[in-house]
Amino acid sequence: MSRDWTPEELQAASDAMERAGQMGYKEFTAEVEAIDKIVRFARRQRDFRFPCPRCGCWVMDKDPIRNALSRRAKVYICNRCGTEEALEDFTGQREPLSTWDIAQKENWPL
């Protein structure tokens, strides 16, 4: 059974999560929206030429599988971004999906 949270309760829970080093409510919502965009885009990725969904650069090979497969989602990204994700994993400093170009801009074909 679920209940509706008041805005004050939600903010208090979000603040507590952030103090504990977790994502707050706004970050979590942005991540969910980013995942939704990435998943919808990934289904169409082979249908047309596209920029890298992570950085937005037009450097992708026209054959998606000749690019890097993201470590964060089942979507192809440019090779430079693939290397950056590997380095993020090595250092433990992952960038959130909400920072991807596809999550930041409205003009992506989804």
Which residue among 68, 73, 78, 102 contacts Zn ion (CB under 5 A)?
78
CB-nearer residue toward Zn ion: 23 or 55: 55
Nearer to Zn ion (CB atom), residue 37 or residue 54 = 54
Least distance from Zn ion to the Cβ atom of residue 81, Å: 3
Number of residues that bind Zn ion (CB under 5 A): 5
Q: What is the DSSP string of the chain?
A: ---PPPHHHHHHHHHHHHHTTS--HHHHHHHHHHHHHHHHHHHHTTTS----TTT--S---SSGGGSEEPSSSSSEE-HHHHHHHHHHHHHT-PPPGGGSHHHH-S----
**Taking CB under 5 A as the rule, does residue 81 contact Zn ion?**
yes
Within 39-58, the residues that bind Zn ion by CB under 5 A are 52, 54-55
Query: Which residue is listed with tokens 């192809």?
Result: 76
Q: How far is the CB of 79 from Zn ion (least distance, A)?
A: 8
What does the binding site for Zn ion look like in residue numbers (CB under 5 A)? 52, 54-55, 78, 81
